[in-house]
Structure 1
Amino acid sequence: MRRRDGALDLLKWLALLSMILDHLRYVGFSVDWLYVPGRLAFPWFCLAMAANLARGGPSAGSWRYLGWLLLFSAVSEIPYRLFIPDPTTLNVMPTLVLGLLVARCWRTPTLEARGLAAAALLLAGLFSSQLMFGFFGVLLPLATLLVFKRSPLLALLPGLVCVAANQWRVLYGAAWLGDAVAIWGLVACLIAPWLGLALLRQAGRVHPLPMRRWAYALYPVHFLVLLAVRQIAA
């Protein structure tokens, strides 16, 4: 049996915390600045997937992981739509599903795998406006995987992909006008992969609670909990 990677578990917990902080903005509090740490969540989840692929190889485990993501993509959609006001995209898990499929198939040099990767990219291109973080969000796990065991300076590549995945006109326009939250949000997107890679390399002695299969349920559940908090605070 392989030894549990505590740094990877820590990265997942920090990604979850970043996501919850980001979603606190929809509870009703005046905490727009939480948008900045919230930009770390998606790239860190993508980095966690890339780390699993890089360390475990193209195994059956990644296909089980894909199956769990598909299941909770469906389970999470109703809580997501109940909590997020007027959502314009699906919840984040379909983006992660396609991203994992592209990255996983990249590591399997067979015609069938490359065909699946091409199909996933085609779907991402056709339905980019319906996917959270769009086409570039689907590319982010692969971009992170390509630099996983290379120089930390190369983490700029997935950082740029992450900035492109956050290509909302409002965000770019606000940053152009000098809005501090928007500017720091873009900075967070750019450096998030580098910060995550640094954590994985330096926090090997940390051993938090392992994040196992039960953790998939935290995504839909956290929407319901925050929805209850909003109803109470209203």
Structure 2
Amino acid sequence: MRRDAGLDLVKWLAMLSMLIDHLRYLWPDAYGLFIIGRLAFPLFCLGIAANVARTHPGQLFSEGNARYLGWLLVFSLISELPYRALSPESATLNVMPTLLLGLLVAWSAHHADRNSLLLAAGALVAASLFHQRLMYGMVGVILPAAFVLGLRGMRWWWLPAVLAMLANGRNRWLVGLGVTPETLAMFVMAGVAAPLGLALLRQSSSLRAWPVGRWGYWFYPGHLAVLYLLSP
């Protein structure tokens, strides 16, 4: 399959914004880093949606899909230890289980057959049962599917934008600070992520970025482990 430079740009922006956000573990008072980090989760969801949309509808049970699901499952487990070490007070799991369930729901939006709908139904039941333990909760699980629709036409850009903002609604920063310029900026940044990411995917193929291959899975647990070792 031809390399998608726009998708690589989305992945790089997602990883960079996530890293900037997590630098707060070294500088807790740097509120601006947290705001920038609101780009990361929606862009990771867009990356999942873009990978799903590149497959042929009706070919759900393929080797590529099984491998994709397997990688997310493996790194959901691998990432929990460094995440828990760096953020022991967190009430949620690391972000990978949310993305894993989101992949199942995104498949249903793309394939729209009985098997994909059954997988999505199971994912949504699991998300409802573990809503409090999932980072970004039920809304986060639905977000990749909203991006699948967004990729079908810019008229849908508002749907993932709205869901990206709602996914941040139970953020502990919002609970602790209330409505402030910082928390309002947080919602704006999350909403901007959707049209920004969709626009990047539509950029000219002349754009080039260092390809983000399977090594990208290691970036999440790897950078968490490094920040834990560097944290005071």
Equivalence for 1:183: 184
User: What is the identity, as a one-letter code, of the residue corresponding to 2:138?
Assistant: F
In 2, the alpha carbon distance for the partners of 1:135 and 1:168 equals 11
User: What is the identity, as a one-letter code, of the residue corresponding to 1:201?
Assistant: R
In 2, the alpha carbon distance for the partners of 1:83 and 1:224 equals 8
- TM-score (normalizing by structure 2): 0.92
In 2, the alpha carbon distance for the partners of 1:14 and 1:103 equals 21
Contact 2:36–2:189 (8 Å) recurs in 1: yes
Cα deviation, 1:204-234, whole Å, max 9, x if unaligned, reads 322221111121111111011111221xxx3
Equivalence for 1:104: 107
Contact 1:62–1:104 (8 Å) recurs in 2: no
1:131 aligns with 2:134: yes
Aligned residues: 227
In 1, the alpha carbon distance for the partners of 2:198 and 2:116 equals 27
Q: Secondary structure at the match of 1:40?
A: helix
In 2, the alpha carbon distance for the partners of 1:136 and 1:41 equals 15
1:40 aligns with 2:31: no
Equivalence for 1:114: 117
User: What is the identity, as a one-letter code, of the residue corresponding to 1:196?
Assistant: G
Q: Secondary structure at the match of 2:3?
A: coil
User: What is the identity, as a one-letter code, of the residue corresponding to 2:164?
Assistant: C
**Structure 1 unaligned regions, length at least 5:** none
- TM-score (normalizing by structure 1): 0.91
Following TM superposition, where does structure 1 have runs of at least 4 consecutive aligned residues deviating by more than 3 angstroms?
172-175
Q: Secondary structure at the match of 2:205?
A: coil
Identity of aligned residues (%): 47
More divergent stretch after superposition (23-32 vs 190-199) = 23-32
Matches within 5 A, 1:72-221: 72-151=75-154, 153-168=155-170, 170-171=173-174, 174=177, 176=179, 179-221=180-222
Contact 2:69–2:100 (8 Å) recurs in 1: yes
Cα deviation, 1:138-193, whole Å, max 9, x if unaligned, reads 00000111121212x421111111111111265167453xx222111100111211
In 2, the alpha carbon distance for the partners of 1:198 and 1:154 equals 13
